[in-house]
């Protein structure tokens, strides 16, 4: 009985820890997503879009 | 211009405009994905720019209305691995990039745990890392991640599961502390363990 309860508690803890990792993982990714995009990106795209003669 | 495209007018401003508009909204996501692959902000932006231009150049082959995010991520990933193959020094560069990232994150306000997570992620085998990032952070379904990585859905599932276990083990044991051989040995043991556990499951 005691062992069973310990096992369940360990499982809960493992699940909580996985959730915490998941949250941090998204946080890490979203941190970059939310950064302002460097102008360079749009500049490059704008140059590529211009007709060949105007580059 | 001697090139001719079959079945499509070579110049379609309306279509190009729609394509560009959507591509621009994806730039932040491409940057984030590139950052997790390279571990280095400068290299990541170079990679994201290359991928963005590859996508632009290939716009005629993209079917508007389908999943452009998955399509551009696939381009970025292919670009990353083809560059990696060309560079025999890459494993060393990865290591240096990880160190630079650690040093670069010098914001005292930043939660320490994020650095630990970054370092731990860097220790995962690349195929596990990318699977976990795509599904766990990028918001992709297993099926989409499988398409991006060019592998079976089951493979993605098992990679994500292994990555989760390994990541947890690395964080718990503090094996992300890079102190040379000791960390390497610890890492080897953890990966072997995670491997064993995932086959037991």
Q: What is the pLDDT of residues B43-80, one digit of tens each?
A: 999 999 999 999 999 999 999 889 999 999 999 999 99
Answer whether residue B30 is part of any domain.
Answer: yes
**Claim to verify: residue B55 and residue B94 sit in the same structural domain:** yes
Measured CA to CA, the distance from residue B52 to residue A44 in angstroms comes to 9
**Claim to verify: residue B129 and residue B191 sit in the same structural domain:** yes
Over residues B146-167, mean pLDDT = 96
Q: B167 burial class (0-12, 13-18, 19+ CB within 10 angstroms)?
A: buried
**Claim to verify: residue B146 and residue B177 sit in the same structural domain:** yes
B126 vs B5 pLDDT, higher one: B126
Measured CA to CA, the distance from residue A25 to residue B104 in angstroms comes to 19
* Domain C-terminal end among B104, B121, B137: B104
**Claim to verify: residue B92 and residue B112 sit in the same structural domain:** no
**Claim to verify: residue B154 and residue B70 sit in the same structural domain:** no
Kindly report the average pLDDT of chain A as a whole number.
Answer: 85
Q: Residue B91 pLDDT more than 80?
A: no
**Claim to verify: residue B197 and residue B141 sit in the same structural domain:** yes
B119-149: pLDDT as tens digits: 888 889 999 999 999 999 999 999 999 999 9
**Claim to verify: residue B60 and residue B77 sit in the same structural domain:** yes
* Domain C-terminal end among B104, B137, B159: B104
**Claim to verify: residue B95 and residue B138 sit in the same structural domain:** no
Q: Select from B87, B97, B85, B91 the least CA-distant residue to B34.
A: B97
* Domain C-terminal end among B69, B104, B139: B104
Q: Determine the structural domain holding residue B193 and report its residue range.
A: 108-201
Q: Select from B114, B82, B94 the least CA-distant residue to B39.
A: B94
B185 vs B56 pLDDT, higher one: B56
ipTM: 0.81
CATH number at residue B92: 1.10.1740.10
**Claim to verify: residue B70 and residue B138 sit in the same structural domain:** no
Count residue pairs from A and B with Cβ separation < 8 A. 74
Answer whether residue B123 is part of any domain.
Answer: yes
**Claim to verify: residue B79 and residue B147 sit in the same structural domain:** no
- Number of domains within chain B: 2
**Claim to verify: residue B97 and residue B118 sit in the same structural domain:** no
B8-52: pLDDT as tens digits: 556 788 999 999 999 999 999 999 999 999 888 999 999 999 999
Q: Which of residues 1-55 of A touch B (CB under 8 A)?
A: 14, 17-18, 21-22, 24-35, 37-38, 40-42, 44-45, 48-49, 52
The single residue listed with the structure tokens 């098992």 is B158
**Which of A21, A45, A49 is nearest residue B168 as measured by Cβ atoms?**
A21
Q: Select from B166, B168, B134 the least CA-distant residue to B149.
A: B134
Q: Residue B6 pLDDT more than 70?
A: no
Answer whether residue B142 is part of any domain.
Answer: yes
Q: Tokens representing B112?
A: 């320490």
């Amino acid at each position: 009985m005691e062992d069973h309860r310990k096992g369940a508690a360990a499982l809960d803890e493992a699940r909580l820890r996985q959730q915490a990792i998941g949250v941090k993982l998204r946080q890490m990714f979203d941190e970059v997503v939310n950064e302002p995009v460097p102008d360079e990106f749009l500049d490059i795209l704008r140059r590529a879009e211009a007709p060949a003669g105007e580059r | 211009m001697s090139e001719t495209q079959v079945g499509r007018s070579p110049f379609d401003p309306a279509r190009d405009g729609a394509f560009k508009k959507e591509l621009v909204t994806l730039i932040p996501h491409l940057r984030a994905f590139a950052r997790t692959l390279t571990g280095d902000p400068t290299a990541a932006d170079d990679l994201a720019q290359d991928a963005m231009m590859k996508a632009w150049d290939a716009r005629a082959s993209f079917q508007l209305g389908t999943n452009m995010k998955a399509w551009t991520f696939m381009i970025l990933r292919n670009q990353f691995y083809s560059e990696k193959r060309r560079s025999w020094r890459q494993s060393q560069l990865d290591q240096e990039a990880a160190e630079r990232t650690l040093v670069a994150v010098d914001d005292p306000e930043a939660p320490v745990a994020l650095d630990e997570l970054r370092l731990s992620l860097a220790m995962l085998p690349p195929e596990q890392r990318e699977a976990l990032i795509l599904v766990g952070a990028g918001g992709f379904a297993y099926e989409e991640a499988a398409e991006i990585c060019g592998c079976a859905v089951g493979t993605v599932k098992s990679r994500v599961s292994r990555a989760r276990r390994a990541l947890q083990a690395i964080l718990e044991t503090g094996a992300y502390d890079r102190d040379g051989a000791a960390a390497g040995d610890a890492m080897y043991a953890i990966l072997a363990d995670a491997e064993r556990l995932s086959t037991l499951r």
